[in-house]
Each structure stands twice: as structure tokens, then as C-alpha cells.
């Protein structure tokens, strides 16, 4: 199996594709019922307690707050498999929402179960840098 053909990396690439396509239901279908998403890891405006989003109901809320509102272009620059079921990926995401543009670099880890469904997604990115980009464009935070 080539390193870009592991179940974890395939889930990562499918997640990006469905997010960019605005395919909410298709994106949710990539996740196991008991999944947890931390995007970003830690506290943020949309996850003040830093507990992440759990299950399909939680992921639906995450989609509606973050992905569904965005006009995303996501590029996966490097994918590092750790066996078949875990990978770490270097990713950049650009967003243009109503003329407000942000550019975010992140490292995202994915863990999939034996069925290839995502059980854990953890995105590490600097929320302060994103807020600074918005502030520079006149957004009051």
C-alpha cells in the first residue's frame, strides 16, 4: 500500500474534497458516530471550553458554524502516515467570506477506525493569527 493510499489519508482527502464542495451530508458520512473533532485544538470562539464536537449532531453544529459559512480552498501539502489508521497532514486553508479573506496554516491529525470512518480529527492552528487577519480588514472583535 503506498503511503498516500492508507485509510487515514484517504479519509483526510475525502474530508477536504467534501468540505470544499459544500457537501455537508457527504462530509458527515465520513465520520463514525462516536467521533470527536477539535478544530482548533484548545479553546476558541466556537468551542469556548475546548471540549471539541462529538458525534454527528456536534459535527453538524461545527459544519454550520465553520465550514458551511466558508468559501474554502484547502490544500494538503504533506501527508505523513502513521500506520494505516492515523496520519498527520500539513494543510493551508484560505477563506473568502463576504470579502473577508483569511489564510491559515495548520497541522491536522486524523484517526480512522477499521471501517475507514474518522473517529478523531484534531486541527492545530493559531486562532490569534486568524483574528489578527480579520482585525486588519476592519472586523471588530
What does the pLDDT profile of the chain (141 residues) look like in tens digits?
Answer: 446 789 999 999 999 999 999 999 999 999 999 999 999 999 998 999 999 999 999 999 999 999 998 889 999 999 999 999 999 999 999 998 888 899 999 999 999 999 999 999 999 999 999 999 999 998 887
DSSP assignment of 127-140: HHHHHHHHHHTT--
Q: Which of 124, 94, 87 is nearest to 12 (CA)?
A: 87
Cα separation of 32 and 19, whole Å? 17
User: Cis before residue 105, ω within 30 degrees of 0?
Assistant: no
Question: Cell numbers at residue 100, please?
Answer: 473577508
Domains belonging to the chain, first-starting first, are 3-136 (3.10.450.50)
Cα–Cα distance for residue pair 80/109, rounded to 1 Å: 9
The pTM assigned to this predicted structure is 0.93
Amino acid at each position: 500500500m503506498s503511503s498516500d493510499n492508507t485509510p487515514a489519508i484517504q479519509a483526510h482527502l475525502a474530508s477536504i474534497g467534501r468540505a470544499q464542495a459544500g457537501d455537508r451530508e457527504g462530509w458527515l458520512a465520513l465520520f463514525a458516530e462516536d467521533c470527536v473533532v477539535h478544530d482548533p485544538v484548545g479553546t476558541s470562539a466556537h468551542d469556548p471550553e475546548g471540549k471539541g464536537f462529538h458525534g454527528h449532531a456536534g459535527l453538524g453544529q461545527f459544519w454550520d458554524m465553520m465550514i458551511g459559512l466558508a468559501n474554502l480552498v484547502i490544500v494538503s501539502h504533506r501527508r505523513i502516515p502513521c500506520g494505516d489508521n492515523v496520519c498527520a497532514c500539513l494543510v493551508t486553508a484560505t477563506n473568502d467570506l463576504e470579502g473577508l479573506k483569511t489564510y491559515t496554516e495548520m497541522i491536522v491529525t486524523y484517526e480512522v477506525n477499521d471501517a475507514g470512518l474518522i473517529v478523531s480529527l484534531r486541527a492545530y492552528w493559531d486562532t490569534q493569527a486568524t483574528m489578527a487577519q480579520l482585525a486588519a480588514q476592519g472586523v471588530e472583535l
